[in-house]
Amino acid sequence: MNTSTLTTPSPTSARYWATLKDLSNDVKLELISLLSTSMRKTEEDWTESFAGKWQDERPTEEIIDDIREARNAHMKEVEL
């Protein structure tokens, strides 16, 4: 690998690199995979943190009706 084409690492990256540079290629690849997976999960699955959070005993149709009614509750009739 030609390190002369790499940008200057941040102090944090440099500290990690000092620890990780002597690991085997297999371990480095495993770490890359774990880091990549953690980044994808954050970006793609962020909505999963909301799953199951809505708690309501009403049927779906009633909830939808309430939402639609609330959208129109503040509308005033305008005379043209």
Give per-residue pLDDT as tens, 30-72: 999 998 887 776 555 667 777 777 788 999 999 999 888 888 7
Q: What pLDDT sits at residue 36?
A: 87
Q: What pLDDT sits at residue 9?
A: 87
Helix, strand, coil % in the chain, rounded to nearest 5: 65, 0, 35
Cα separation, 33 vs 35, whole angstroms: 5
Q: What angle do CA 50, 51, 55 make, to 5 degrees?
A: 90
Q: What pLDDT sits at residue 45?
A: 67
Mean per-residue pLDDT of the chain: 81
**Residue 13 clears pLDDT 70, i.e. is over it:** yes
For the residues 18-33, what does the mean pLDDT come to? Answer: 94
The answer to whether 17 touches 9, Cβ cutoff 8 Å, is yes
CB count in 10 Å sphere of residue 31: 13
